[in-house]
Amino acid sequence: MAEQTTRDVINEIRGTKTVPGVCMICPWHCPTENFVKNDRIEYVRGNEYAANKTTRCVKGISSIHSSRDADRLLYPMKRNSSGVHERISWDDALTQIAERLKKIKDEYGPESLCSLFHLDSNEMFTHQLLGHLYGSPNLSGHGAACDQDRRLAAIATFAHPLPVKDYANSRFVMLWGADPFGPNEALHENRELLEAMKKGCRLVVVDPNRSRTAEKAHIWLPIKPGTDGALALAIAYRIVETESYDKAFCDEWVHGLDEFSQHLLSNGYSPEWAAGITGISKETIIAVADEFASTKPALMDGLKGLVNYTTGLDALRTVFALNVITGNVDGPGNLILKEMSPLGFPLEIPEEAATIPKKPPIAHAMGYPMAPDLPTQLLPKAVLEGDPYPVKALFFHVCNPAMSDPNTRLFEKMMGAVELSVTVDIYMSETAQLSEFVLPEASTYERAEVRESMWAGPQTVMAQPAIAPLGESRPYYEIMKGLAEKMGYGEYFQWDSWEDWARTCTAYLPVSYEELKEKGVWEGELRYHKYNTDGVPTSTGKFEIYSTMFEELGYHPLPVFSEEHRVKPDADYPFQLVNCKMQYHCGTHTQNNPYLMAIAGENWVELNSKDARRLGIADGDMVEMASPHASARITARISEAVQPGVVRVPHGHGFGRRFGSIAKGKGTHVNPLFETRVNPISAGISFNECKVSIRKA
């Protein structure tokens, strides 16, 4: 008899059946297991065969509610002439959308369709239908609001979009504006980092506020907001000055060390210089630089705390350059240039059937040729002015820019100006309410998915439908199939069940389909130092700290520190607004969850006790927060974790119109306060370039 797995034990206790799934709460998508009985999800946990083992984060475990939520979208809807959404049949909805798409393509070309999505592997079908077949180049994830700068910096340095972290083997970890212990990144990374710290790994955190990660850090550098670039350059200066970089590695694998060193020294990016800008003492900078250079293996990484400023791109380029010059690349305990599993597209589309767009992606046409994702916050202006080219159709799939992007009013205007707007979501989100067509999607518990996981090595996740879709909702691939049939592309979307295309996707995996289906994950070998065998796919064949790509396109090939585009507090607006994430919510789609709302039922503005005392604000007071663009009423919280002169607001709450019986009316939507400000090179949204004033309401 085979040994009883822990899955079997739970199934025995509860009379359930295990169906492997994937968590759809955040973009790290941890593999999961769903325990089902009588078409009801009884219990969920992490997939014991995956890196996260059986664990889930608080949002993940709470998401069991979305399999039962009575507020879910249950049938397709269309907005009538008086602006009210009415129920229509699937057939009508898809026929009308297909007709409209054809008309728009004929009149304006396929480029006038933009499809925006969160991050979902079923987007393969969007790419095949709206990309390959229809011909739009404007299919984009939510990167502009997220890791745009990091991705561009990584592409420039490593020619890899998403380096991941091998904390488990690291001896020194330095995180810049990243808070993995708070709002989570990949769960296994959290566990591995803490276990590494138990074994003596050092953790340095750069963050103006004391985040959950800063709480655990050996050294916390409470930096002035937006000045991370200066600190990173000063650390590089110290390493270059003392020549403590890895000479052998640099000679063989690094392009531009001499230019980089010359650039740092001649511009005087010294620790004394940085101390004045960052508020971190010269001695501390030198100590951290020396420790980083002398400890191996080490890794440095940054995320939203950097990319939310206009200085973030160059800060991240410097951070990655620091990894490179010390030889900390793709080895155990370093940033890993993740290898993907050999997954194929689900459908076979012959080359002659594809439409080649005549115009470039809209980001290129706007003047951001290197932008990895479409800068969604620049889209409203482009749509309203028809510049650089007309955009007439908008698709949104489980993303909610009406809540997540800055300058909400302009977004609403854009939604009134387009000829076709379609939102596919599981909830009636604020964006869905502004769309003409709203299509109900099946939740992650009701659909299949084949995807790459966020583990450092190649790993495939195969999620399977555990229960029947609620109401008339359909899995995304079925929606795309229906739309394709109406658009006349039905011949490519031939399958009876999801298993047909899942077999096509996974045909090249060195594992049997049955085993993958049973376990839900397949894990390949985690290879280190892949550049030794595979090379580096940059144009120089080396890791580029002097970026030839930037140079070719007319940008500065080396990272600089420039506060030219910053918005800094002044006498009228004395606070820097920092837009953060809440540990207990993710984005804008967990606010209808009773478990999470019981923990944190609203958002708030956090300010330091010194500032609060000066303004006469007590904990729990309602305050009026105003930027030059708009103002909002929000609850104040007094916190010692926040830097004086900085206020912090977790975003995502404040649904005002129709979303959710639990979410509606709780908290404050602060995005109207932000102006449309982007990084001048990557076009990533600079949420934190925002100054505000606060007074008691």
Partner 1 sequence: MSQYGFYFDKEKCVGCRACEVACQVWNDAVQTVKWRNVSCLARGTYPELTGVNASLACMHCAESPCKKACPRTAISKNEDTGAVTVDQSRCVGCMLCLWACPFGAPQLGAKGRMEKCTFCEERPVGKIKRACEEICPQQAIVSGRIEDLILHSKQVAAERLSWDKRIEVILGHEEE
Closest CB to partner 1 among residues 56, 651? 56
Does the footprint of partner 1 cover residue 317 (CB under 8 A)? no
Does the footprint of partner 1 cover residue 648 (CB under 8 A)? no
Does the footprint of partner 1 cover residue 615 (CB under 8 A)? no
Site for partner 1 in 324-343 (CB under 8 A): none
Q: Which pairs from 559-562 meet CB under 8 Å and 24+ separation? A: 559/229, 559/232, 559/233, 559/314, 559/315, 559/317, 559/318, 559/321, 560/267, 560/314, 561/229, 561/230, 561/233, 561/269, 561/277, 561/311, 561/314, 562/311, 562/314
CB 48 within 8 A of CB 6: yes
Closest CB to partner 1 among residues 41, 549? 41
- DSSP symbol at 128: I
Separation CA 336–CA 165 (nearest Å): 6
Torsions phi, psi for 653 (to 5 deg): -90, 175
CB 231 within 8 A of CB 278: yes
Which span (120-128, 207-215, 492-500, 520-528) binds partner 1, by CB under 8 A? 207-215
In whole angstroms, what separates CA 16 from the centre of its chain? 34
Give, in degrees to the nearest 5, the angle at Cα 313 between 628 and 231: 95
Give the SS3 label for residue 438. Answer: strand
Among 158, 172, 220, 411, which residue interacts with partner 1 (rule: CB under 8 A)? Answer: 220
Burial (Cβ within 10 Å: 0-12, 13-18, ≥19) of residue 290: middle
Q: How far is the CB of 464 from partner 1 (least distance, A)?
A: 20
Among 39, 351, 525, 640, which residue interacts with partner 1 (rule: CB under 8 A)? Answer: 640
Separation CA 97–CA 79 (nearest Å): 13
Q: How far is the CB of 670 from partner 1 (least distance, A)?
A: 22
Among 38, 39, 198, 533, which residue interacts with partner 1 (rule: CB under 8 A)? Answer: 198
Tell me the pairing of strands 691-696 and 575-580.
antiparallel
Cβ-based neighbours of 1, under 8 Å, separated by 6 or more: none
Q: How far is the CB of 82 from partner 1 (least distance, A)?
A: 42
Site string for partner 1, 27-46 (x = CB under 8 A): ----------------xxxx
Among residues 455, 526, 452, 548, which one has the least CA distance to residue 159?
Answer: 548
In whole angstroms, what separates CA 308 from the centre of its chain? 12
Among 37, 79, 127, 210, which residue interacts with partner 1 (rule: CB under 8 A)? Answer: 210
Among 275, 549, 642, 673, which residue interacts with partner 1 (rule: CB under 8 A)? Answer: 642
Q: How far is the CB of 330 from partner 1 (least distance, A)?
A: 25
Edge-to-edge strand list for the sheet holding 437-440: 85-87, 77-79, 437-440, 420-425, 393-397, 113-117, 139-140
In order of 213, 410, 453, 590, the CA distances from 33 in angstroms are: 28, 41, 15, 20
Among 13, 553, 618, 622, which residue interacts with partner 1 (rule: CB under 8 A)? Answer: 13
Site for partner 1 in 137-196 (CB under 8 A): 181-182, 184, 187, 190-191, 194
Which span (10-18, 131-139, 457-465, 550-558) binds partner 1, by CB under 8 A? 10-18
In whole angstroms, what separates CA 331 from the centre of its chain? 25
CB 475 within 8 A of CB 488: no
Does the footprint of partner 1 cover residue 407 (CB under 8 A)? no
Does the footprint of partner 1 cover residue 105 (CB under 8 A)? no
Does the footprint of partner 1 cover residue 58 (CB under 8 A)? yes
Among 340, 507, 599, 618, which residue interacts with partner 1 (rule: CB under 8 A)? Answer: 599
Does the footprint of partner 1 cover residue 584 (CB under 8 A)? yes
Does the footprint of partner 1 cover residue 17 (CB under 8 A)? no
Does the footprint of partner 1 cover residue 644 (CB under 8 A)? yes
Question: How many C-beta neighbours within 10 Å does residue 65 have?
Answer: 18
Among 20, 21, 31, 60, which residue interacts with partner 1 (rule: CB under 8 A)? Answer: 60
Among 86, 99, 215, 272, which residue interacts with partner 1 (rule: CB under 8 A)? Answer: 215
Q: How far is the CB of 599 from partner 1 (least distance, A)?
A: 6
Which parts of this chain interact with partner 1 (CB under 8 A)? Answer: 4, 6, 9-10, 13-14, 43-46, 52, 54-58, 60-62, 64, 181-182, 184, 187, 190-191, 194, 197-200, 210, 212, 215-216, 220, 222, 583-584, 595-596, 599, 608-610, 640-644
